[in-house]
Amino acid sequence: MKIRGLFYFLPIIFILALGCTSNVDPKILIGNYCFNDGLANDSLFVFADNTYKHKFNANNGKSYDATGKWKYDSGGKEVVFERFVFFNNEGPHNPPGYWVSKVRLEKDSIVRLMYSSENILFFQKIK
Amino acid sequence: MKHSLVVAQARHEFKKRGASEPLIQYNSSFSLFHAYATSYVNMTAQFVGGARVSIIPMQGGGTKYIVDNTTDRYSYYAHLPFIQNYPRTEGVITPKSTIYQRFIWIEK
């Protein structure tokens, strides 16, 4: 009976373990990203020296940007951006602060930095 | 919302980062399990579901909490992949159309 129970339990353990082994190499995070629509009015540049630049082109012709440091947290599979600012067409949306983004790897090696998993909004690596 | 799971997640992250710098648009998760667990316990939190939470220390004391949430058909139907959202149109009654909510409060 105990062995039979183990046969039911092992597949669950195996499936969970599969999820745990899909690590992210931080090097793949380096590059240029666009927010969902890909129109490049909201761009994120992640550099190899652990700095980033976030640039937003408003529809009135103004341009806003913010810079800071980033680091990858392998435990949570997330990137922590320091002093991050979100922008809209009126300018900065928030004071600089920590923005924590889950990394999602899609098929064909597409890298996404999630903004809202509920609304499927993200920065997607384009280069 | 003060006592919701999504705010608790963000609060934990805020404290983990030292509680001195703002935490911006933290993407708190909310699963079907959370929805079931909050049934009749916190119906506001269940209605809101997943949200993005910002926690901002204020000069002079206090902490501002901002919860941003989109309420739409995709959320209502528990994120079924084929569900389309209906945008709101002024002057037209559109049931279950998308609305954007923001909850703000200050904790001393």
For residues B53-63, average pLDDT: 95
What tokens does A2 get?
Answer: 């105990």
In whole angstroms, give the CA distance from residue B27 to residue B17: 15
Q: Which residue in the set B24, B27, B75 is minimally distant from A86, CB to CB?
A: B24
E-assigned strand segments in chain A: 31-35, 42-46, 51-57, 63-73, 78-84, 87-88, 91-92, 97-106, 110-116, 121-125
Q: pLDDT digits over A28-41, tens only?
A: 999 999 998 666 69
Cα gap B93→B105, rounded to integer Å = 30
Helix, strand, or coil (residue A88): strand
Mapped onto helix, strand or coil, the DSSP state of residue B53 is strand
- Residues of B near A (Cβ–Cβ under 8 Å) read 13, 17, 21-27, 29-30, 49-52, 54, 56, 70, 72, 74-75, 79
Residue among A85, A95, A116 whose CB faces B27 most closely: A116
Q: How far apart are CA A63 and CA A17, in angstroms?
A: 45
- Residue B79 has phi, psi (to 5 degrees) of 65, 35
In sequence order, the β-bridge partners of residue B96 are: none
CB A71 within 8 A of CB A29: no
pLDDT the model gives residue B83: 74
Instruction: Please choose, from the candidates B42, B59, B39, the residue with its C-alpha nearest in 3D space to the C-alpha of residue B7.
Output: B42
Min CA distance, A94 vs chain B (Å)? 7
Q: What is the pLDDT of residues A59-72, one digit of tens each?
A: 999 999 999 999 99
> Taking CA atoms, what residue in B is nearest to A102?
B27
Report how many Cβ contacts below 8 Å link chain A to chain B: 58
Distance of CA A92 to the CA centre of its chain: 20
Q: Does position A15 have pLDDT exceeding 90, yes or no? A: no
Q: pTM for the whole thing?
A: 0.83
As given in the structure block, the two tokens for residue B71 are: 């309420």
Rounded to two decimals, the ipTM of the complex is 0.83
CB A118 to CB B50 under 8 A? yes
Averaged pLDDT score across all residues of chain B: 84
- Report CB contact under 8 Å: A97, B56: yes
Confidence band of A108 (pLDDT split at 50, 70, 90): confident
Cβ pair A100:B56 closer than 8 A:
no
Residue A75 reports pLDDT greater than 80: yes
Q: Report the gap between the CA of A116 and the closest CA in chain B (Å).
A: 6
* Percent with pLDDT over 90 in chain A: 65
